[in-house]
């Protein structure tokens, strides 16, 4: 039986939804097929194809039992097809659910503009780093970083370029630090850095110097060549504080100290200027909520 005859037979079964017994055929080239029995292959009450049996004898050789048997086989095949479709649908739903959960997690723990960790993820990583430092009697550093005169970029070139600059700064910060360190964007042009497992405070100063050199390199953004600097405040555990809030606050105070000293520099937290600098920092934040350079 040729392929055209097969297609015609399957088409008749699909249209009628009933078994079709093909009449006597001339022997095919191999001298084998003389008759064909086709039964509907149904999926969800719809005939989607046919299951065929080929006979070496004429059509009369197929009995009612043959038809019932072939129909039973077709039912099993339909069940297998349905199970395959259900499995595929379940896998697709599972994949979509996982992607949705990953997106929710991403939004909950990362900054939407830069993709960097946000304060919530910073806090989680700080707890882990602090536990490691206490166990190994190491130090860790918290750095507050603020871009100098960032507001002028937004004012002169627009917020789109300002956003691209923040993204590029985030990329350079990641390149300047170890993979085990954390770069967090707080908002505006402020970044919070976490450096773990330091043997001595001077290690943080070397990192701060490396960061400033990286930021000083010009940024080429949409045909705009931008030069910018940054001010950094550093607080060390356990020297300058025992918990996250204390270290972040004191790194912030040190950063304002760097601003007062002409910007484009870093400053370690100094306890003797805590009260004076704290009052000034609070005044600056109340006056410029977006940061000292806003």
Q: Name the catalytic one among 146, 148, 181, 189.
A: 189
Angle between helices 64-109 and 119-136 (to 10 degrees): 80
Q: How far apart are CA 245 and CA 123, in angstroms?
A: 10
Q: How far apart are CA 245 and CA 148, in angstroms?
A: 24
| 209: annotated active-site residue | no
Residue 221 CA from chain centroid, whole number: 25
Q: What's the maximum distance between 2 C-alpha atoms anywhere in the chain?
A: 108
- 187-214: b or e for each residue (b if 16 or more CB lie within 10 Å)? ebbbbbbbbbebeebeebbebbeebbeb
The pairing of strands 182-187 and 266-268 is unpaired
- Residues designated catalytic: 189
């Amino acid at each position: 039986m040729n392929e055209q005859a097969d297609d015609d037979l399957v088409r008749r079964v699909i249209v009628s939804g009933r078994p079709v017994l093909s009449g006597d055929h001339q022997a095919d080239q191999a001298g084998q097929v003389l008759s064909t029995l086709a039964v509907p292959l149904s999926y969800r009450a719809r005939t989607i194809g046919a299951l065929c049996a080929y006979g070496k004898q004429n059509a009369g050789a197929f009995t009612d039992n043959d038809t019932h048997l072939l129909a039973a086989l077709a039912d099993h095949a339909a069940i297998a097809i349905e199970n395959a479709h259900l499995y595929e649908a379940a896998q697709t739903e599972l994949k979509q659910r996982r992607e949705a959960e990953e997106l929710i997690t991403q939004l909950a723990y990362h900054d939407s503009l830069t993709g960097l960790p946000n304060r919530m993820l910073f806090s989680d990583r700080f707890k882990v780093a602090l536990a490691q430092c206490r166990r190994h009697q190491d130090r860790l550093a918290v750095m507050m970083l603020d871009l100098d005169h960032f507001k002028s970029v937004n004012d002169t070139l627009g917020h789109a370029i300002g956003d691209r600059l923040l993204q590029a700064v985030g990329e350079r910060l990641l390149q300047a630090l170890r993979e085990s360190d954390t770069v967090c964007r707080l908002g505006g042009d402020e970044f919070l850095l976490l450096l773990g497992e330091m043997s001595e405070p001077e290690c943080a100063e070397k990192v701060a110097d490396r960061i400033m050199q990286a930021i000083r390199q010009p940024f080429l953004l949409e045909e705009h060549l931008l030069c910018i600097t940054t001010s950094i405040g550093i607080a060390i555990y356990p020297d300058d504080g025992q918990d996250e809030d204390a270290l972040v606050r004191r790194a912030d105070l040190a950063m304002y100290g760097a601003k007062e000293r002409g910007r484009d520099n870093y400053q370690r937290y100094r306890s003797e200027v805590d009260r004076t600098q704290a009052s000034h920092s609070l005044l600056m934040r109340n006056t410029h909520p977006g940061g000292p350079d806003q």
